[in-house]
Amino acid sequence: MSHYSTDIDGINEASFRLILDNAEHLIRYIYEHANSRPYDDAEIRVGLAIKILIKSNVTYSSELLQPIVDDLEDLINDNEYLDNFDDPISKKRSTMQATLSHQ
């Protein structure tokens, strides 16, 4: 019989602490590697960054946050991206923008 046990709660707590202690570094890493998989997808970059920011209760510099804001703006203004969702408001906005750009 093994005297080792799997401390899932301890592993989860240590993982959480590791992410929090390195949040700024992780976000910088994600954006410094924006040309490499899997970080070459704005949706993945934003999703990871937001997960990190939500877990931490720290105020970060605008310099660190600006690439996230830029990605969000790009996604919001990407009609093809917005068309992937069953959100009637986004689809209506997307259709209106496409119509106006062709006039």
Helical ranges in the chain per DSSP H: 8-21, 23-32, 42-55, 62-76, 79-82, 88-101
Q: Give yes or no for a contact between 27 and 20, defined as CB atoms under 8 angstroms apart.
A: no
Average pLDDT of the segment spanning 82-102: 66
**Nearest C-alpha neighbor of 49 from the set 32, 24, 74:** 24
83 contacts 98 by C-beta, under 8 angstroms: no
Contact 49, 24 (CB under 8 A): no
Q: What confidence tens digit (pLDDT) does each residue in 34-74 have?
A: 999 999 999 999 999 999 998 888 899 999 999 999 999 99
Confidence at residue 55, expressed as pLDDT on a 0 to 100 scale = 85
- Total-model pTM: 0.71
